[in-house]
Amino acid sequence: MKLVTPAKGTIELSNEKDPELFYLARCGLGGLGVVAEVTLQTEAESNDPEIDTLSFTELRDRLLARDPLGKEHVIRINEAEAEYWKKSEGLSKPTMKDLDYMENLLQLIEKEDIPPPPPIEQHWTARRKSPMSPVSSSGEDDIFSLVGIIMYLRTSDARQRKEITEEFFSYRSVTQTSLWDQYSAYEHWAKIEVPQDKDELPELQARMRERFPVDAYNKALMELDPNKVLSNAKLEKLFPVLEHVHQAK
């Protein structure tokens, strides 16, 4: 990855070269620099045009047929199959918390008379290595569920828009109080709003610090953009720089 920064110009980062900063920059929220170039790892194209149409067992049998009596060859196939089933087993025993959350959410909507328009969205994604990602995890097989209710501002009437916005934040507050801690839920970056109530800001900052490596991110910010060329009010509100971070610099 090539990252253009205000203080250090263009720097190159990778899993081998400054991996900590590399993974921070992969979800840098636009504050660490401008990503100018990325190199992606891809899978080699198969010489067999039918390879993508085969099931796992069909692929296994075809590979075994190449040298069915070759001991080392069969061992390699067996090891690959064992790894396949091991990973499959990990994904075939979900905790079901994702569906439990949805059931509790629907019950909460009924109880609180929340008027969300359909659909209530739920998506799944694999974990990410970037520590600033909302779905970051050290577990290779971890799966995250993303849930959201959308309240559309499909009106130009200022009073109605204000009422819808207030209703949305009321819904957010109810779900946070009732469900988030129970299911280890956190806001997605695209959905975070800086609270208008100043008393709520410290609570949000504490939540961000609990989930994300805020000090490491701030340290990188001060090294790459000390004059806050790329910064914005949202980043500065969410990630206040603590005194010991200044001293570490």
List pLDDT tens digits, range 121-157.
Answer: 888 888 999 999 999 999 888 889 999 877 888 888 9
pLDDT of residue 249: 46
| Residues 45-68 pLDDT 10s | 667 667 778 888 888 888 888 888
Query: Would the pLDDT of 244 be above 60?
Result: no
The answer to whether residue 247 scores a pLDDT higher than 60 is no
7 residue type, one letter: A
At 143, list the tokens.
């799966």
What's the pLDDT score for residue 115? Answer: 80
C-beta separation of 140 from 126 below 8 A: no
Q: Which alpha helices (DSSP H) does the chain contain, by range? A: 19-26, 56-66, 71-91, 97-112, 158-175, 201-211, 214-224, 233-238, 243-248
At residue 201, the 3 state secondary structure works out as helix
- If you write DSSP's letter for every residue of 37-74 in order, what string do you get? E-----PPPPS-TTGGG--HHHHHHHHHHHSTT-HHHH
Q: Which has more confidence, 21 or 233?
A: 21
pLDDT of res. 246: 45
| pLDDT for position 80 | 87
pLDDT at 248: 46
Percentage of the chain beyond pLDDT 90 is 41
Distance separating alpha carbons of residues 166 and 247, to the nearest angstrom: 41
pLDDT score of 169 more than 90: no
Say if CB 150 and CB 116 are below 8 A apart.
yes
Tell how far CA 165 is from the center of its chain: 25
Q: What is the pLDDT of residues 190-223, one digit of tens each?
A: 778 888 788 889 999 999 999 999 999 999 999 9
